[in-house]
């Protein structure tokens, strides 16, 4: 059975998104498992915030988490005067941990990041604050897709190398190809910070090499941004305490990574293919929403601009309900979307196929008449896979580089 631990007990968070179960597809493709029940948003006048609910479920992750504070960072913040401060947790010669804070050079802010043993350090260059990228782009000839890495740096590096996306020194080698990460880089793993900086730096290296990197937000990114830290490992709780903060503030809006991530889309269209973490539900079509409106609603909410207005249907369907883009499981868990409903979704967005993560499958593959490609596998169990498209041909690819045509 494929499983991940589910939420524990009902709580309400000050930043109020709908807390939904983090359940998975327990069978192979397709499944007849029960889909999470709907959790309607509370109707209220709020400061662009959602209401979050958590159903009673299995034990929280920290019940078995034996990790402890460790080497971490840097966490780079922009101060009010425009300078950049870098804070790391480092170990001295006796392996005792200490906090190290420096100011990055204003003319060329960069730093070296240790990744894994025997892997050369990654030179990360800080860029100007990010703007939301276009959410509709032409279809690339080559495409590499993976999701739900959850802080597993060996899996992320291994797949990118196996797919020819990067070389041993993390140089971009995918040419004009596009890399799509379909959400959930946060939680469960112990190298979340390194994974984030790697994708941040690869975005610039891809662009310089003629390609693109797209980071599509998943439910675990949004959970962390809104104070839901149930799946954050003990390491990061203890590291945050050492830094005088809380886990949800490690990537706050004033940090380089936090600001960058809050401008990433929740839906991306590349030609005739649509990319979302959970899926597009019939409710989105019924509401007449397009991806620009969905992305803008979530960007505004995560920016926390202080406007008081009613809860927005676009915001609810972006991230605040079981029918929302980051939570929907109706392509893989019962009740499965009907053929006519799925065709209506594809027609509404003008796409032939929808690519999703979020719901575990035994192997990456097509469902629902090849109209949906599911790419979430159990990286933590050693079953790391990615999807590769060359022209019109799709392949499943493992850490050994072997391609299996889909």
Q: What is the pLDDT of residues 106-131, one digit of tens each?
A: 888 999 999 999 899 999 999 999 99
Q: Are residues 373 and 299 part of one domain?
A: yes
- Does residue 191 sit within a domain? yes
Question: pTM of the full predicted structure?
Answer: 0.88
User: So what's the pLDDT on residue 47?
Assistant: 33
- Does residue 143 sit within a domain? yes
User: So what's the pLDDT on residue 95?
Assistant: 86
Give the domain range for residue 103: 72-119
Distance separating alpha carbons of residues 326 and 222, to the nearest angstrom: 9
Residue 56: pLDDT over 60:
no
Q: What is the mean pLDDT of residues 99-109?
A: 93
DSSP letters for 10-50:
----SS-----------SSSS--PBPPPP-PPPP-EEBS--
Q: Are residues 398 and 345 part of one domain?
A: yes
Distance separating alpha carbons of residues 333 and 372, to the nearest angstrom: 13
Q: Are residues 261 and 220 part of one domain?
A: yes
Q: How many domains does the chain have?
A: 2
Distance separating alpha carbons of residues 396 and 389, to the nearest angstrom: 9
Task: Confirm if 103 and 246 have CB atoms less than 8 A apart.
Answer: no
User: So what's the pLDDT on residue 46?
Assistant: 30
* 52 vs 144 pLDDT, higher one: 144
Q: Are residues 270 and 177 part of one domain?
A: yes
User: Considering only CA atoms, which of 91, 344, 360 is closest in space to residue 242?
Assistant: 91
Q: Are residues 372 and 223 part of one domain?
A: yes
* Rounded-to-10 torsion of CA 157, 160, 166, 170: -20
Residues 6+ apart with CB under 8 A from 253: 259, 262, 302, 303, 304
Name the pLDDT band for 18 (thresholds 50, 70, 90): low
- Does residue 226 sit within a domain? yes
DSSP letter at 255 equals B
Q: Which two tokens stand for residue 125?
A: 């260059």
Task: Confirm if 215 and 198 have CB atoms less than 8 A apart.
Answer: no
The share of the chain scoring above pLDDT 70, in percent, equals 83
Distance separating alpha carbons of residues 372 and 309, to the nearest angstrom: 36
Q: Are residues 173 and 144 part of one domain?
A: yes
Distance separating alpha carbons of residues 151 and 190, to the nearest angstrom: 6
User: So what's the pLDDT on residue 106?
Assistant: 87
Q: Looking at residue 143, which CATH number applies to its domain?
A: 3.60.21.10
User: Considering only CA atoms, which of 199, 98, 186, 120 is closest in space to residue 150?
Assistant: 186
């Amino acid at each position: 059975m494929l499983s991940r631990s589910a939420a524990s007990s009902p709580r309400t968070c000050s930043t109020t998104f709908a807390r939904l179960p983090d359940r998975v597809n327990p069978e192979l493709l397709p499944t007849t498992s029960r889909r999470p029940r709907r959790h309607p948003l509370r109707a209220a006048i709020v400061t662009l915030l959602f209401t979050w609910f958590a159903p009673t479920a299995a034990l929280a992750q920290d019940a078995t988490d034996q990790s402890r504070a460790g080497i971490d960072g840097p966490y780079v913040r922009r101060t009010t005067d425009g300078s950049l401060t870098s804070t790391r947790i480092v170990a001295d010669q006796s392996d005792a941990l200490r906090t190290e804070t420096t100011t990055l050079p204003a003319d060329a802010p960069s730093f070296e990041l240790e990744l894994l043993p025997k892997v050369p350090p990654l030179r990360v260059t800080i860029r100007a604050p990010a703007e939301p990228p276009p959410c509709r782009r032409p279809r690339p000839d080559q495409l590499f897709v993976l999701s739900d890495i959850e802080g597993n740096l060996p899996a992320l590096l291994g797949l990118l190398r196996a797919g020819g996306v990067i070389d041993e020194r993390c140089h971009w080698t995918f040419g004009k190809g596009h890399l799509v990460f379909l959400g959930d880089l946060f939680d469960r793993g112990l190298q979340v910070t390194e994974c984030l900086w790697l994708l941040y730096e690869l975005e610039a290296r891809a662009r310089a090499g003629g390609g693109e990197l797209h980071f599509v937000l998943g439910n675990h990114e949004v959970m962390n941004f809104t104070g839901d830290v149930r799946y954050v490992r003990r390491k990061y709780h203890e590291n945050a305490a050492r830094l005088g903060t809380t886990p949800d503030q490690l990537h706050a809006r004033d940090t380089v990574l936090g600001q960058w991530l809050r401008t990433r889309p929740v839906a991306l269209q590349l030609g005739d293919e649509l990319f979302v973490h959970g899926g597009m539900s019939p409710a989105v079509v019924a509401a007449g929403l397009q991806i620009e409106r969905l992305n803008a609603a979530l960007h505004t909410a995560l920016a926390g601009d202080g406007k008081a207005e009613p809860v927005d249907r676009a915001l609810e369907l972006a991230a605040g309900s079981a029918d929302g883009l980051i939570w929907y499981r109706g392509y893989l868990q019962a009740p499965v979307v009907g053929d006519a409903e799925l065709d209506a979704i594809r027609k509404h967005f003008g796409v032939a196929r929808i690519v999703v993560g979020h719901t575990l499958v035994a192997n990456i593959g097509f469902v629902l008449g090849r109209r949906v490609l599911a790419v979430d596998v159990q990286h933590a169990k050693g079953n790391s896979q990615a999807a590769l498209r060359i022209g019109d041909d799709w392949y499943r690819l493992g850490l050994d580089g072997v391609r299996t045509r889909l």
